[in-house]
Every structure is written in C-alpha cells, then in structure tokens.
Chains A and B, each alone.
Chain A
Amino acid sequence: MPASRSTRIVLLVYGLVVIGLLYLPLVSVGFASVSQARYLSFPIKRYSYKWYAEVLESGTVRDLLFTSLSVALIVMILSVVIAFFGALAFARYEWRYRSIFQKLILLPIFFPQTVLGLALLMWFNALGIIPSWKTAVVAHLVWIAPISTLIVAIRAYSFDPALEEAARDLGANTPTILREITLPLLLPGLVSSGLFALLLSWGNFPLSLFTTGADSTLPEWLYAKMVSGYSPLVPTLGIMSVVTSIVLILTAFAVAWLARSIRDSHAA
C-alpha cells in the first residue's frame, strides 16, 4: 500500500519542521556567541568575535578541553574493546545465559544518570578513592560501553557464522579467527561505536557532575556558568564544543571514505 503523494509531502514537511525545531536552540546560541553586548537581547545590534578571542586566550578553557578530551578518548578506546567482545556475547555465540545477558546490558541505559553518578561517588568514597577525571572515565564507561555494545551487536547480527566455522574447519584457532575473520567483519560497527562513545562522553554532563572531583569537564563548566547567571562565554564555548563534535564526525566520515577507496583500489 504505497503512500499517496500528498501523505508523502505532508510527512516530509513534518520531518523538516522537527529537524528545524531540534536545531533552533543552537541557532540562538550561535547568534548569542557573536553578539557584542555583555547582556544579550534580540535582535542583535552589533556583532563581534571578541568572545571567541577571549575564550581562546583563556587558560581555564584549555584545561577544560584537555580534561574533556582525555576522558572522551580513553572512554572511546575502552568502550570499543569491551563492545567488541560484548557484542559477540550479545549477538553471535549461543550460550546459556545469553538472553539474561542481553537484558542486563540494557539496565545502565535505563538508569537515571544523576543517580548513577551519585552512587559512584559514594562507592569511590567507601573505597577511599579521591574522585578526579579518571573516576569520571569509569562513570562514563558504565553508561557508554553498553550503548557501544548494542551498536556493534547490530553489525554482529548481520554476519554469517559459517565464515567462522569454515575457518575453524580449515584449522584456524580462536585468536586467529577473531583477528582474521571477526574483527574485519565487525570493523564498520566498531568504528561507529567508537565515534558514538567519543561524542557521548564529550557531551555528557550528569555523570561527570559528581565523579570528576576537583577537575571539571566542558559541559560541567558550562552548567555552572549557566545557573550562576548569564555570561557571554557560555554560548561561545557551547558553539565551540558543537563545532568540535562536527569536526570529529566529518573526520570520521573522511577516514572511513578514504579507507574504503583504498581497499577498493586494492581489490580492483
């Protein structure tokens, strides 16, 4: 029952409106970041880039970026490794507790992040660990590793176990199979799960709030400034954070495209 032309158009317009609304707040933030006035009011009378200059010169901002990036990169690497194995247990191997395992994986995703952050804070306290950005890595991992696992699992569902079985019949042992067959087949899923992990960690606020101790990530600093009154540095830094994410995504796409064209040229 193909949809009529008018249904198609109405739904398309609706979709565009939803996308527009999703990004409308960022448009406001963008305008605010180039407004010269210290106290923002629309329509903007004079534009200036001076807040960007101020942000770039600030040492605090450099520390924030360094902390956020360190956390995000470590979370990415650990999540991809965990997700590789987790996805195999989730989707590939038939083992006894697989369906319980699948449901267990979902629990942290359903969990309120603020509460998880506080629970971890108490746990670290009980262990005598002083929170720093390293403990924030652990906190991010609890929430992000399951998401990465699900992303890799989608890929793992679509591959044919016969490939692995054939390799085994030809005498390959398990590490060889994982390296030569499974890893290349799951690679696209691993790349996208790594990207998700990096960006979700970069933007995460509720988990960082209670687990970074004296260190501070970018979203934390923005929140602190937001609730303590307006500062023109908030929209500026916000936009810079968004631009960083976009650059990361574009880089990932470019690398993926490059890798594919190199592989194709080898194949040809």
Chain B
Amino acid sequence: MQKLNRRLGFLSSLPILAVFLVAFFAPLMVVALFSVMPPKVFNLTNTPDFSAYSVFFEQGYYRSLLWSLGMALGSTAILLIVCWPLAYGMAKVFRGFTLVLTVAVVMSLFVSENIRLFGWVLTLMKGGLIEGHIRAWTGIGFDSPLYGIPIIVFGLVYVYLPFMLFPLAQGISMVPDDARQAAADLGATRWQILTQIDIPLAAPGIIVGCLLSFVLAAGAVAEAKILGGQAVITIADDIETAFTFGQDWPLGSALSVILIFIIGSLSLLGVSRVDLDRIMGRKR
C-alpha cells in the first residue's frame, strides 16, 4: 500500500512539474544566461561579460529597487494593521457575514487590476467622483491626491488586501478559543492575549500573508503607473522599459535576476517555516 502510494504520488505530480519545467524553470535559465551577456544582444551566442550588473549600480537602478522594496514594506505593514481586525472578525466573531465578506473580496479579485486602479483615478481625480460632487455641493474644491508616493502605497494596499486577509484569517482561526479563554481567566489583559496568545499561535498565517503581500507588491508596476503617474519608477517598471523601449535584454535580465534573487530567497525562507498541511486544514 505504502509503495503504491509513493508511486501514485510521484506520477500525479508529473503533469504540473512538466508545466513548470518547460514554462517556468527553463525561462528562468534563459533570463540568467541573458543577464551575463554583453549589452544589447538578442541571442545567447556571445561571450559573457557581466557588464549589465555594473550598470545596475552605475546608472541608479538600485534606487528603483529600494523604492519598490520600501513601498512594499510600507504597504505590508499597513495591510497587517488594516486586515488584522477584519481577519479576527472572520475567524472568531462573524457567522454568516464571513461568507459574505469572503465572496465579496474574492469577486473583486476577478476584476482586472487595471480596471480597478483606473476606477480609483476616476474617483480621486480633480472633477472625479469625490472632488466633483463635493465641489458641486459646497463650492469648495481640493487638489487631487493622485500622482504621488502615498497614493501608490494606497494602491498597493488596495490591490493586495485579499492576499493578506485570507492567510491572516486562516492563521487566526488556528488559535484555539480555550487558550484565549484560559489566558483571560488567569487575568491576562487584552494586549497580553494579543501578543502572547494570538500572534504566536497565528504566526503561520501572519508569515504567509506578509510574505505574499510583500513579494507581490515588490514586483508591482501598475499602481505606480496608473495612480502614481510615475512619481517614482519601480524596479519592475525598469525591467519592462529595458526590454521594450531600451531594447536591452541583458540589462532587463540582470535587473530581473536581482529582483528574483531577493524575492526568491525571502519566499523560500518564509515558506520553509510553515507547515502547509496544517495551515490548509489537514485532518489526519
């Protein structure tokens, strides 16, 4: 039986591994190879010279990377605070409303990110939904908050909310009610329950939520382009430009490799600390 299980497990993993091999790992190899090619070549038959990596430091691309990482860090911190009460409600307080909230949040994911960000532009622009109506009713207008760094962070928080909310709710639902009750009976304050019971026991959910939102936000382009009016250039935007307008594949590849390295090592570090069987509700 065990032997059969082992064979079946291996066999059933093959379809998705085949997809990964031809459409994920192979392309990443190509990126890695291109990143060491001399500037502006379009095939891999040149002598490697690593010049693209020195451009990263010389031409200030590291600044885009720092902006991306900084904004991702900021939006992750905000998301953690914004989502915690809601996730707590979903896991412990709401009954039927948890389903309503889940369906509402998931449905929003199916609308293209572009359309939703464009909707924020229409909402917040001068003469938009908010400013236009307020000016019509009171006669007092105000400047649009668009095209700045805070609005980009807002866009990141908005777009990646589901990726923090659901893992967090899952994590909090893993905290046994008995443990909170016992702590309360023994005289623990709300703050003590939060920091000594809830947070440690919900840690897997917190790790996955933070990791997902940070990683996705670090590789984001659309928020800075649509809401930020390119007030800052994100690293993913630089990568895109290098490939399209720049026509410099080795540079784009080198920037990609740097981003992939940071994101990949963070993901591996985080994911290796989490027991996926437990967080996804294995019963046996």
Interface residues of A (CB under 8 A from B): 1, 3, 7-8, 11-12, 14-15, 18-19, 21-29, 31-32, 40-43, 81-83, 85-86, 88-89, 91-99, 101-116, 118-123, 125-126, 138-139, 141-142, 145-146, 149-150, 153-154, 157-158, 161, 165, 168, 174, 199-200, 202-206, 210, 218-219, 222-223, 226-227, 234-235, 238, 241-242, 245-246, 249
Residue of B nearest to A246 (CB): B107
The residues of B with any CB-CB pair to A shorter than 8 Å are 1-2, 4-17, 19-20, 23-24, 26-28, 30-31, 34, 42-44, 82, 85-86, 88-89, 92-94, 97, 100-101, 104-105, 107-120, 122-123, 127-129, 131-133, 136, 158, 161, 177, 180-181, 184, 211-212, 215-216, 218-222, 225-226, 236, 239-240, 243, 249, 252-253, 256, 259-260, 263-264, 267-268, 271-272, 276-277, 280-284
Q: Is the CB of A122 within 8 A of B89?
A: no
Contact partners of B88 in chain A: CB under 8 A: 11
- CB contact between A104 and one of B4, B20, B221 (< 8 Å): that residue: B20
Contacts of B9 in A (CB 8 A): 88-89, 92-96, 98
B101 vs chain A, min Cβ distance (A): 5
The interface residues of chain B, by DSSP majority, are classed as: helix
**Chain B's nearest CB lies how many Å from the CB of A209?**
8
Cα–Cα distance between A235 and B31 once the two chains are bound (Å): 36
Closest 8 A/B residue pairs (Cβ): A112-B219, A25-B119, A95-B9, A42-B132, A93-B9, A89-B13, A123-B27, A119-B27
Nearest CB of A to B257, in Å: 10
How many whole Å from A126's CB to the nearest CB in chain B?
Answer: 6
Q: Closest approach, in angstroms, between the C-beta of A60 and any C-beta of chain B? A: 17
Evaluate whether A222 and B12 lie within 8 angstroms (CB atoms) in the complex, with A22-B105, A40-B122, A205-B222 already known: no
Kindly state the separation between the CA atoms of A93 and B112 in the bound complex, as whole angstroms. Answer: 36
State whether B16 touches A82 (Cβ < 8 A). yes
Residue from B82, B122, B131, B221 in contact with A114 in the complex, judged by beta carbons closer than 8 Å: B221
- Interface contact tally, CB-CB below 8 A: 298
What residues on A are CB-neighbors of B116 within 8 Å?
A: 25-26
**Are A113 and B219 in contact, CB atoms less than 8 angstroms apart?**
yes
Query: Which residues of B are found within 8 Å of A116, using beta-carbon distances?
Result: 24, 27
The reply to whether A11 and B23 form a contact with Cβ atoms under 8 Å apart is: no
Closest Cβ of chain A: how far from B200's Cβ, in Å?
Answer: 17
9 example contacts (A-B, Cβ-Cβ < 8 A) are as follows A28-B128, A40-B127, A85-B16, A93-B6, A104-B20, A114-B239, A115-B256, A121-B243, A153-B280
Contacts A110-B212, A158-B281; A141 near B19 (Cβ below 8 A): yes
Since A15-B94, A42-B136 are in contact, a sample of 18 more A-B pairs with Cβ atoms closer than 8 Å, ordered by chain A residue number, is A28-B129, A42-B133, A86-B15, A89-B12, A95-B7, A95-B13, A96-B10, A97-B10, A119-B28, A119-B256, A122-B31, A126-B30, A145-B19, A157-B280, A157-B281, A203-B111, A205-B113, A235-B122
Pick the contact of A110 from B108, B117, B267 — CB < 8 Å?
B267
